[in-house]
Amino acid sequence: MKIVVIQGPNLNMLGVREQGIYGSMKLEDIHGQMNAFAQKDKIEIEFFQSNLEGEIVDRIQECLGDADGIIINPAAYTHTSIAIRDAIAAVQIPTIEVHLSNIYQREEFRHKSLIAPVCAGQIAGMGPFSYHLAMVGMKQILVELAALREHKAKAQQA
């Protein structure tokens, strides 16, 4: 089981920028916590961060045939990127959208996610714990998909 975590623009600045909104935890610390969860459950995890939309699209496409699930915080691209939305839809890999802040309590322009409709779910407003919840959710989704595949295989053999 492999999960790719994709982080969008400015998330490399966590712990420095707008701590009142995003908290004081650095991205490396969040990744460390996710990695500890993944190791405990024998999940392979890979991290990627970019401030560039095209690089994020490329990384999503590279997940095809290589990853079982994607956890993505598209950051500001949440509200603007049809390209990221289309890439997620194209690869058809279970994806969970994550936000540290509650985007629905913020400025009006942040209330609309172009990404959420092509994702299995969205977790927002729980700070760094949002990523832990995404890991738990993704693990459950992947376990259920594996069970469904196994059930279908047995049914075809019968």
pLDDT attached to residue 84: 98
CA–CA distance from 112 to each of 35, 76, 81, 121 (Å)?
30, 11, 11, 14
Q: Cα 66 vs. chain centroid, distance in angstroms?
A: 15
pLDDT attached to residue 22: 67
Catalytic residue among 77, 99, 131, 132: 99
Q: Write out pLDDT tens, residues 27-46.
A: 999 999 999 999 999 999 99
pLDDT attached to residue 1: 92
In sequence order, which residues have a C-beta less than 8 Å from that of residue 34 and are 6 or more positions away? 5, 45, 47, 131, 132, 135
| Predicted model pTM | 0.92
pLDDT attached to residue 20: 72
Assign 62 a pLDDT band (cuts: 50, 70, 90): very high
114 has pLDDT over 70: yes
Domains of the chain: 2-157 (3.40.50.9100)
Catalytic residue at 31? no
CA–CA distance from 115 to each of 29, 33, 75, 132, 151 (Å)?
25, 25, 10, 20, 31
Catalytic residue among 22, 77, 131, 132: 22
